[in-house]
Structure 1
Amino acid sequence: MANFAKPSAPRFAVEVYQNAYLPEGGREVDAIVTVQSTGGAKLSARPEAGPAAAVVLMVDCSGSMDYPPEKMRNAREATAAALDTLRDGTAFALVAGTHVAKDVYPGGGRLALADERTRAEAKEALRRLSAGGGTAIGTWLRLAERLFAHTPAPLRHGILLTDGRNEHEAPEELAAALRACEGRFTCDARGVGVDWEVAEVTGIATALLGTADIVAEPAGLAADFTGMMEKAMAKEVADVALRLWTPVGAEVVFVKQVAPSVVDLTGRRTAAGPRAGDYPTGSWGDESRDYHVCVRVAAAGLGQEMLAARVSLVRPGPAEGPAGGPPAPLAQGLVRAVWTDDVAASTAISPQVAHYTGQAELAQAIQQGLEARKSGDSDAATAKLGRAVQLASASGNEDTAKLLAKVVDVLDAATGTVRLKAKVTDADEMTLETRSTKTVRVKK
């Protein structure tokens, strides 16, 4: 029996951290915007509006999933564990992905509502899955988008598992599929084993505002899938956008999510009225995220002050505001600019801005270092990965430091002195690459 309840909306709060002071002629203003969401009731099905959440699970069933055979068995068991985590009343479907996509439950282009009976039926459909065929992930995503089109659920989330490279469609086809799915649903992507392409899996998660990770050992899939589904079920509000308004003469240089991971949102801007633009942030539960905003303003005289940007959280759509009018902001904060001849004031760097600038550099150093290592440029790899070790140590990013230590021998973390390891497992290298964008918060 579905648990019907009308949810209460979560509350959003925005805090802005910055050094507002600029020297004479200064134009660039940096700020870290912390967004906190708290207090919403967990969403469940509502008879008057249909299910509040929908999930499509996309399971790789290509031939490589049979090597070793435990991989397919673990994938079935992991998906079954995820089904057990679905709340009653959630709309869901199972997709078997090969070089084509097939909705194996409930079938017919429909979604089922989670209850004891439909979970048992879905697990029976899972037991019938077998491995065979190629890999064309774009077809899986397009089928998920068509399935989501049949539900009024505001929260729409995909979980995608693959063990291989996307060899049976052109990269342009996957890119086109991602563009078609952007804004339609969010998606977590997982690579199992070590024969998949990190850039493909992380690209899917980035485009669809989800998470990406490696599950090197198939036996770890059940715990990972259960955790993903628990987080999906904890989401309370969908389609939240970060809205930036800037005054005449000002322009946005970039907008990046910097915690819990680095995601560049700059190119995702959509117009939202005069001098305003929306940047998608996806779905929210009880959580906090940080964003780095950089705005270039028109220069002003000493002693002058201006509003460089207004940052708001909004849920776009006429239902959020007066009929036909713009949505009311869920929360907002202000970014200021003040021109001064006080050198100490204008040269001070906000601790939050400095921290996340370092975390973004850390992610870039890891990616560049691993790329240099793959290409055989050991000098560049040593320099970049040494810098990454230095940044991870200075910022207290212990998880990343541990991953780096599996790729390099750390001689002196403080100075970034390292030596490349002669032998590195594919799993260790792929784990470091996949998790390179994960950040730590500023120490209070």
Structure 2
Amino acid sequence: MSSLTRPPQPGIRLHVDLGRDLRPHRSAKIEAHLRVDVSADGAPTDLPAVQLAVVVAVDVAEENRAAVRHALPAALRALPDRISFAVLGSGPEPVRCYPRGGEEWAVADHDERRRAAFVTGSLPLHRDGPRPAGYAAWVARAHALLAGRPASVRHLVLITDGSSAAGESRLEEQLEACAGEFTCDVFAVGTDWSPDPLLALAERLHGTAEFVDEGLGRAVTDAIGRLRRVHTPRLPIDVTVRPCVRQVSLSEKAPRPHRLGGLPQPGRPHRWSFPTYQWEQGRRDYLLTLVADSGADPLETELLFALVSIGDFHAAVTARWHLPGQSPPHVPAGADSVRELNATARMRDALRRGLAALRDDRPATAEDCLGQAARLAARFGTDWVLDEIRAVADIEDASAGRVRPRAVDAGTLGPMILRAGSRPGAPLPDTAGSRPGPHCGACGNPAGSEARYCIACGRALR
């Protein structure tokens, strides 16, 4: 996303925890937990509204007009002054409802908000006949609008009841075409929508997907308020790897699961850039995965496998190849951190798959997946996951993963699947510290990283 002016840069603290020391292998996997703490450091509390452009798209059938009749005007009347906005209504293709005439964008002030709220009273919605071919059409129309608006933050708010015609085969292609151009929040109303494409929209476009039964106007207003708390709209995480690393992937795990696409850097074959979006104050957790070949590397030698960079801040991913058949002298300090990151992702995935299995009437799969989610939730004290499971199953022993699914109304499962896939997760506990220095082989006393002799017994350190 482009910007007319350089936005205030946040303060960043960057920390990397390595999962484990390594055994030599042609395709060894190296996992590291990347933790980023962001503070405003003097940046304004709110991003100026003039730097925001928002498309509000209403993919709703006429029979569900009541879901948006009052909420949409209320959200438009709450827009901040000087924000750029446009409203799309429904037809055979998405159509611009506001502003009318030759203008593609309106800039909010008292009169524009009043006119927009009045016009949306006659917002065109889906009626009998042709309807847009799935969400790809909405994404494409928003992309065309936002591409011509040079704002720091460009965002789509999609309100949907799932009434677009089938045709989601183009959605992945369209998401690929507009990756990095704008972000998206999805609000589902009614009961006839499928959660899977909504989660795909939220994950690929770095936003959220949630079901809204009541309070849609407030939900849209809050979403736009979150945009104003963005201090840095786009911030790449660069990963520079040693030549033996053949594959690089990075995924955001908290606060929301997002799949990140790596961009190779022209002329720099060992450097990858992963764009990230909507940086606010707080903490983010990422899982960095490298696949490396040990063939040309020395054994039992500390090696730099990757350098992670965010702006002017850098952190190293270091490890060593151990001799076959020998136990490593210590477990890396970040091993627990990486295990928890992976386990938390498995917990979310198991909950989502278990709920989907209940929806599809596969009780054995549901019992297995929900049991796995319950076991991990009990281990980490994740109460919201246990609460979700209790809504659809009897938990006999959470720590052992014993649950008994119940018959559930399928209409209640869609919102639960959205929460499992898009609900913000709490940052992992700070269990990992810095990598330890050497230990004395004779008495086990720890020593500083630069120490040559044990301060307790005086023996040389290895």
TM-score range (shorter-chain normalised) is 0.7 to 0.9
Equivalents in 1 of 2:109, 2:333: separation in Å?
57
1:402 aligns with 2:387: yes
The alignment status of 1:362 with 2:360, answered yes or no, reads: no
Shift of 1:330: 4.1
Tell me how far apart the structure 1 counterparts of residues 348 and 162 of structure 2 sit (CA, whole Å).
24
Distance 2:10 2:238 in 1: 18
Residues 1:60 and 2:45 are matched in the alignment = no
Residues 255 and 285 in structure 2, CA contact (< 8 A), matched pair in contact too:
yes
Structure 1 residue matching 2:373: 3-state secondary structure:
helix
Could you say which residue in structure 1 is the equivalent of 2:225? 230
Equivalent residue for 1:14?
14
User: Is residue 22–residue 338 contact of structure 1 (8 Å, CA) maintained in 2?
Assistant: yes
Q: Which residue identity does 1:118 align to in structure 2?
A: E
| Cα separation, partners in 2 of 1:126 and 1:349, compared to 1, 3 Å | same
Q: CA deviation at 1:176?
A: 3.4
Note the alpha carbon deviations across 1:312-359, whole angstroms, 9 max, x for none: 22xxxxxxxxxxxxxxx3432211113455546248762221111111
Relative to structure 1, the CA distance from residue 274 to residue 117 in structure 2 (aligned partners, 3 Å threshold; closer, same or farther) is same
Please tell me whether residue 291 in structure 1 is matched to residue 286 in structure 2: yes
Superposed, 1:238-253 pairs within 5 Å as: 238-253=233-248
Q: Aligned letter for 1:65?
A: N
8 Å Cα contact 1:22-1:339 kept in structure 2: yes
Q: Distance in 1 between matches of 2:291 and 2:173?
A: 33
User: Which of 160, 163, 175 in structure 2 is aligned with 1:162?
Assistant: 160
Distance between the aligned counterparts of 1:255 and 1:6, measured in 2? 26
Match of 1:310 among 307, 318, 338: 307
1:113 aligns with 2:98: no
Deviation string for 1:276-335 (max 9, x for gaps)? 11222122222321100111233244430111111122xxxxxxxxxxxxxxx3432211
Quick one: structure 1 residues 245 and 347, their matched pair in 2 at CA, closer, same or farther if it must change by over 3 Å?
closer
Displacement, 1:172?
2.6
More off after superposition, 200-209 vs 26-35: 26-35
Aligned-partner Cα distance in 2 for 1:24–1:177:
41
Asked if 1:94 is matched to 2:94, the reply is: no
- Whether 1:432 aligns to 2:416 is yes
CA contact (8 A) 1:245 1:275 kept: yes
Counterparts of 1:19 and 1:206, CA distance in 2 = 25
Question: What CA deviation, in whole Å up to 9, does each residue of 1:16-68 have, x standing for no partner?
Answer: 122463346593321111123321323326xxxxx3111111112423424xx
Give, as a single letter, the amino acid of the residue that structure 2 aligns with 1:432.
M
Equivalent in the alignment of 2:433 = none
Q: Which amino acid is the alignment partner of residue 48 of structure 2?
A: S
Are the counterparts in 1 of residues 20 and 334 from structure 2 also a CA contact under 8 Å?
Answer: no
Residues 162-199 of structure 1 deviation map (CA, whole Å, 9 limit, x = unaligned): 0124315x223333332332221111112112210101
**Residues of 2 paired with 1:156 and 1:287: CA distance?**
22
2:197 to 187, 195, 200: 200
Contact between 2:18 and 2:332, CA under 8 Å: does it hold in 1?
A: no
Superposed, 1:100-139 pairs within 5 Å as: 100-107=93-100, 108-133=102-127, 134-136=131-133, 137-139=135-137
Amino acid at match of 1:124: F
Q: Which amino acid aligns with 1:78?
A: A
Alignment match of 2:148 (pick from 137, 147, 150): 150
Unmatched 5+ stretches in structure 1: 46-50, 314-328
Could you say which residue in structure 1 is the equivalent of 2:47? Answer: 43
- In 2, Cα distance between equivalents of 1:153 and 1:358: 38
User: Measured at CA, do residues 221 and 384 of structure 1 come closer, stay the same or move farther in structure 2, by a change above 3 Å?
Assistant: same
- CA distance in 2 between counterparts of 1:85 and 1:288 reads 29
Query: What does residue range 19-34 of structure 1 map to in structure 2 within 5 Å?
Result: 19=19, 21-23=21-23, 27-34=28-35
Alignment check: 8 A CA contact 1:245 1:309 kept: yes
| Structure 1 residue aligned with 2:450 | none
**Secondary structure class of the residue paired with 1:131:** coil
Unaligned ranges ≥5, structure 2: 431-462
CA contact (8 A) 2:393 2:403 kept: yes
CA contact (8 A) 1:99 1:135 kept: yes
Tell me which amino acid in the other structure corresponds to 1:79. L
SS of 1:379 mapped into structure 2: helix
Question: Is 1:336 paired with 2:318?
Answer: yes
The answer to whether 1:79 aligns with 2:72 is yes
Q: Is the 8 A contact 2:60 2:161 kept in 1?
A: no
What secondary structure sits across from 2:387 in the alignment? helix
Query: 2-side partners of 1:128 and 1:153: how far apart?
Result: 29
Distance of aligned partners of 1:238 and 1:8 in 2 relative to their CA distance in 1, 3 Å threshold:
closer
**Paired residue type of 1:198:** P
Q: Per the alignment, in what secondary structure is the counterpart of residue 215 of structure 2?
A: helix
Q: Map Cα deviations across residues 386-438 of structure 1 (whole Å, 9 max, x no partner).
A: 1111111211221122111111111111101110112x133431122112234
Answering whether residue 373 of structure 2 is matched by residue 388 of structure 1, we say: yes
Alignment partner, residue 377 of structure 1: 362
Aligned 8 A contact 1:72 1:131 in 2: no
Deviates more, 1:204-213 or 1:125-134: 125-134
Equivalent residue letter for 1:360: A
> C-alpha distance in 2, partners of 1:280/1:179?
14
- Select the structure of larger CA radius of gyration: 2
- Provide the identity percentage: 27
Give me the whole-angstrom Cα distance separating, in 2, the residues matched to 1:360 and 1:7: 32
SS in structure 1 opposite 2:196?
Answer: helix
Q: Secondary structure at the match of 1:22?
A: coil
Which amino acid in structure 2 is aligned with residue 126 of structure 1?
A: T
What is the letter of the counterpart of residue 336 of structure 1? T
TM-score, normalised with respect to structure 2: 0.81
Instruction: Give 3-state SS (helix, strand or coil) of 1:275's partner.
Output: strand
CA contact (8 A) 1:44 1:88 kept: no
Query: What secondary structure, in the 3-state scheme, does the structure 1 residue paired with 2:420 have?
Result: coil
CA distance in 2, matches of 1:86, 1:336: 48
Asked if the contact 1:242/1:280 (under 8 Å) is kept, the reply is yes
